Structure 1
């Protein structure tokens, strides 16, 4: 993949979309961690905490890019991403698990630690979509993370208003997973490099993930309705 080629911008768009979809919880964490602080300190906490979170996530993603070059790990990462795409469709928000901090540095620490713990899906998805390009990792994170953080309210409102964003994000993550699965060396040696196989498998897995995710969500809704009754 050449720098600033059509493939580069396609991967960059995928990274930004995945970060927006996967970063909703992380954005909420930032707001909740600082909510009990005085108004004049909240912006400073968010700025410092977000800066630390961006640095740690960038380093973690760069490490993941190189780890995925180890034989077998890209395939395992692809399988994990398929599972994460499914969980994205079925998981409920877990922001109630995040406690608000009462001190300035306590809030900063909460933001950084929570983002690191909750950011595995982001790290793996971005590393897979980057196809081994560190510049793409850094550029994608620098563009998307500030959007998630400072535009978190808009992102959440957009997702609530247009729920289709979630399955679209899950589809993008699943396709990224397929590129990781078919890009693994032993898979290439077995089936060769074929865009037809890649897109065919992608279509099958996306359909399967969306179908299972829809059924799981429908079942949850029915159970909640029965409990309420």
Structure 2
């Protein structure tokens, strides 16, 4: 496995873990009203369906990003997502309602994952660079980590806020690369070849500084 391929897989796993940290809370909230004997079924069914739907949506997003200017627009939107990661307060997670039947709990898990996972889908599609196998591999590796280990990940994030900044930096890097992959601006980038390195760097610095300023101003 070459270094570039390995780095892409690691970036996708990192994105999945950072943006999917709330999944365990969603699952817990969705299943909290179920009898104990049905909770495991709801977790397995809900998570399994959510994985299938997310893989399908990410593959669709990979192809959509091939449309002219969508790499540029997607990159700019991903910058916004990275900024939100640093400044959001997580209220959306607490609005998840628990189901009273197996079907309701599974439906809640899948729908909540769809709504909350849009940023994840876009980021993974951008990081994959059109390689569907990377999308599937990254999700299959990271989803079990998220489902069974995200409570630990969330505790680490609360204890070590630097992890959030690292995650936002990964998203900003992906956004910068998406922008440089936009075919319609390639003539400009080829004229100034250093832009391939400067644009991702600028996106990282911008996101981290903007998030830091926002957080300090609201304290």
Give the TM-score category using the shorter length.
over 0.9
Aligned to 1:33: 30
CA–CA distance in 2 between the matches of 1:167 and 1:81?
A: 15
Describe the superposition over 1:158-189 as per-residue Cα deviations: whole angstroms up to 9, x where unpaired. 21122111010101101101111011001112
Alignment match, 2:46: 49
Structure 1 match to 2:65: 68
Once residues 15 and 128 of structure 1 are traced to their aligned partners in structure 2, the CA distance between those partners, rounded to angstroms, is 9
Task: Flag structure 2 segments of 5+ consecutive residues without an equivalent.
Answer: none
Q: How does 1:170-209 map to 2 (within 5 A)?
A: 170-192=168-190, 196-209=194-207
Q: How many residue pairs align between the two structures?
A: 218
Counterpart for residue 11 of structure 1 = 8
Aligned-pair CA distance for 1:83 = 0.5
CA distance in 2, matches of 1:9, 1:188: 25
Which deviates more from structure 2 when the two are superposed, residues 29-38 or residues 125-134?
29-38
TM-score (norm 2): 0.95
- Structure 2 match to 1:90: 87
Q: Deviations over 1:66-115 (max 9, x none)?
A: 11011111111000000100000000112111111111110000000110
CA distance 1:90–1:41, shift in 2 (3 Å): same
2: distance between equivalents of 1:34 and 1:98?
A: 10
- TM-score, with length taken from structure 1: 0.91
Shift of residue 122 of structure 1?
0.3
Q: Quick one: distance in 2 between partners of 1:31 and 1:194?
A: 50
Report the Cα offset of residue 220 of structure 1: 2.1
Distance 1:194 1:120 in 2: 33
